[in-house]
Amino acid sequence: MSRLRRFLVSSGAAALLLLFAGSGFAADKPNILFMLVDNLGYGELGVYGGGILRGAPTPRIDTLAAQGLRLLNFNVEAQCTPTRSALMTGRYSIRSGTYEVPIGGGPDGLTLWEVTLAELLSGRGYATGIWGKWHLGSSEERFPTHQGFDEWYGIPRSYDECLWPSTGETNGLWPSVGRRQGWDPKVAEPEYIHEACKGEKARRLKPLDVEQRRLMEAEITRRCIEFMRRQVNAGKPFFAYVSFSLMHLPTLPNPEFAGSTGNGDWADCLAEMDHRVGRLLDTLKSLGVEKNTLVVFASDNGPEATHPWEGSAGPWRGTYFTAMEGSLRTPFILRWPGRVPAGRVSNEIVHVVDCFTTLARVGGAEIPGDRAIDGVDQTPFFLGATEHSAREAFPAYVADRFSAVKWRNWKVHFIWQENMYDTPQRLPVPKLVNLLTDPREERDVGAQNSWVAAAIQKVVGEWTAGLKKYPPIPAGTPDPYQPPY
């Protein structure tokens, strides 16, 4: 064996070179189906220890996991908007001014200076579509069809707004606020379901209410299937971003699934979610593009914290809107037949920002070089060329609060908050936990492991220096935006 060949085999580079050959990324762009579930906790799916323990099996998603890579240490940001921003830009949301869910009707969303994954893939000839919640801009100028997507069906903000028209109803089980002091559309306009195509102004279809909220998943799935069929028939690669509405509050099933499990609304929603995922996967197979489609199934946040829609974080502690593992650590499944080894499970750290960089590379796109990009290329790790992730640490923000640092199997908390409704407490001394021996984050072992401080300080130092070099964009910054560097 030659010296060059020994190097390629030992480093895993041979597998990567094959991808860049005749059947590689540049010559054979794979389709990308990215399914992002809303507020699906770590403990909900059967393959993550949930399923029948939560009232409903999830056979289609469990099978998907067996066909590819399942991550046990995939990390997101603490809220919906930040995670979606990080996915689309490859940048921690604190950089983009999108670090918290917008409330109150003020300016929100990504500036048009940001470069989204959809824009990169569109530039490489991909057809791009999004169905479901956008949450990165409530005005026409910042809708997804102005950020690289060819088409969109969904809502600009959040599903809890569907409850507004119900606050004055007197025929339900919930106490009525009353029509005189309940929601007033003259004060806060209802959220509308939108439909849009690139180059055209978005059309308002109908207001989002509880009835329409129950129907969203079916329509999201139907429209995505129709999109994939169109692109396959046209011979065009596609990036399909399915922003599912489940399991976001109010967690209500489609009437077709209501009562199907006998275990209540939450279990019925699990069953519906599994069914919708199965329909998308079946479509890929029926279209003959299953082997040339990279499929991702992930969640944007940890579990719901609001009664009666609380979710499960499995073995981890906490809810979303915190820096606890229950908030940051969510399901992630990746399937790419013939490229990603089947049945692989890993506890290596991956962050949602890495999806931007990795998927851009899969599509043959160039990563912007004029800004800070936090996502790292996980292609060698995902393809099995290496057993190790390309990252071992990240800073964890909750809104604009620098709350923790995660490094390998250690985490340091600077601010302590277990539940989204708890008051954040800045700690006089940072709390160090060992996530292998203490998954519930109950014991401070800093005194016995003070050496970890050196690694944490390095992460903090590099992160702080990066913020000085590339100052964050203030929340609410209007367009056009130009960076001060």
Identified catalytic residue from 80, 162, 224, 355: 80
- Give the dihedral of Cα atoms 240, 245, 247, 253; nearest 10 deg: -120
119 Cβ neighbours under 8 A, 6+ residues apart:
147, 148
Q: Mention every residue, 6+ apart, whose C-beta is less than 8 A from residue 377.
A: 354, 357, 358, 361, 390
As a whole number of Å, the CA-based R_g of the chain is: 22
Structure tokens at 138: 């409530």
Residue 224 known to be catalytic = no
The answer to whether 385 and 377 are in contact (CB under 8 A) is no
Q: Could you write out the DSSP letters of every residue in 400-412?
A: TEEEEEEETTEEE
Q: Max Cα separation, the chain? A: 83
User: In b/e form, how buried is each residue of 241-266, taking b as 16+ CB within 10 angstroms?
Assistant: bbbbbbbbbbbbbbeebeeebeeebb
Please give the Cα distance from 312 to 330 (Å, whole number): 11
Task: Using alpha carbons, list the distances in angstroms from residue 387 to 257, 349, 443.
Answer: 40, 11, 30
Q: Single out the residue of 226, 241, 266 nearest to residue 154, CA to CA.
A: 241
80 is catalytic: yes
51 neighbors 382 (Cβ within 8 angstroms): no
Nearest C-alpha neighbor of 247 from the set 200, 308, 321, 172 = 308
* Class of residue 175 by CB neighbours under 10 A (exposed 0-12, middle 13-18, buried 19+): exposed
List the alpha helices (DSSP H) in 208-324: 210-234, 265-286
The H or E element that residue 414 is part of is strand 410-416
Pair 220, 154: CB distance under 8 Å? yes
Contact by Cβ (8 Å): 376, 393: no
The catalytic residue among 135, 194, 248, 413 is: 135
Q: Active-site residue numbers?
A: 80, 135
